[in-house]
């Protein structure tokens, strides 16, 4: 019987079961990569890429500091006019719901600042038309709904829905983002 219990414990330790109590510890740090679409689920009309660093607090909430690149394509006749934004972000994410220490739902608010370029700062178009939009510095905020699913103790799958509101843009001040990403915890 002792051999059976020992064999069972060894098999249990080698299987997919994890020490779930060690998740979202105070001071836990992670690096995350995110990507997704902007204002539609069509990636050819716009996409975003982001890299961020997160720090977990005592109550399983976390601070997030990152950089993000957003590119939207506006159509004019047969031409696609690019609008590119590069922004820095600092925000706080509050954990709202927890499922079995494996999945979490968080709400986040972030302050953002950055720079926007429309048509790579070229004003003249192929048919003689002139763009009145100009490059600008941006500042504003973002609100985020994030679902985090622990794949392992160090790898987290992220699904995000985010609304960015940035003053200073001459094209669009509000952008909705749908995306997914991966966070790797470095403790």
Whether 58 has a pLDDT exceeding 60, the answer reads yes
pLDDT score for 74:
81
| Domains annotated on the chain, with CATH | 24-185 (2.40.160.20)
Residue 67 predicted with pLDDT over 90: yes
Mean model confidence pLDDT for the chain: 84
For the entire predicted model, the pTM comes to 0.80
Of residues 76 and 142, the one with the higher pLDDT is 142
Residue ranges in the chain assigned as alpha helix (H): 2-14
CA distances from 132 to 46, 129, 138 (A): 21, 10, 17
Mean pLDDT on 158-177 = 89
Q: What is the pLDDT of residues 89-119, one digit of tens each?
A: 999 999 998 888 788 999 999 999 999 998 8
- pLDDT for residue 66: 97
Phi-psi region of 154 (alpha: psi -120 to 50; beta: other; left: phi over 0): alpha
């Amino acid at each position: 019987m002792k051999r059976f219990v020992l064999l069972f414990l060894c098999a249990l330790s080698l299987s997919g079961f994890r020490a779930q109590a060690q998740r979202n510890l105070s001071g836990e740090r992670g690096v995350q990569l995110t990507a997704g679409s902007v204002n539609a689920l069509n990636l050819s009309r716009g996409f975003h890429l982001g890299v961020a660093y997160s720090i977990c607090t005592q109550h399983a909430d976390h601070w997030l500091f990152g950089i993000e690149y957003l590119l939207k394509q506006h159509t004019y006749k047969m031409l696609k006019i690019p609008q590119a934004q590069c922004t820095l972000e600092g925000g706080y994410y509050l954990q709202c719901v927890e499922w079995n220490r494996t999945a979490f739902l968080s709400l986040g608010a972030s302050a953002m600042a950055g720079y926007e370029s429309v048509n790579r700062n070229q004003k003249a178009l192929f048919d003689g038309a002139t763009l009145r939009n100009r490059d600008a510095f941006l500042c504003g905020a973002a609100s985020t709904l994030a679902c985090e699913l622990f794949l392992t103790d160090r790898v987290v799958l992220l699904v995000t829905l985010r609304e960015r509101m940035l003053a200073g843009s001459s094209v669009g001040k509000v952008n909705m983002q749908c995306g997914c990403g991966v966070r790797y915890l470095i403790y």
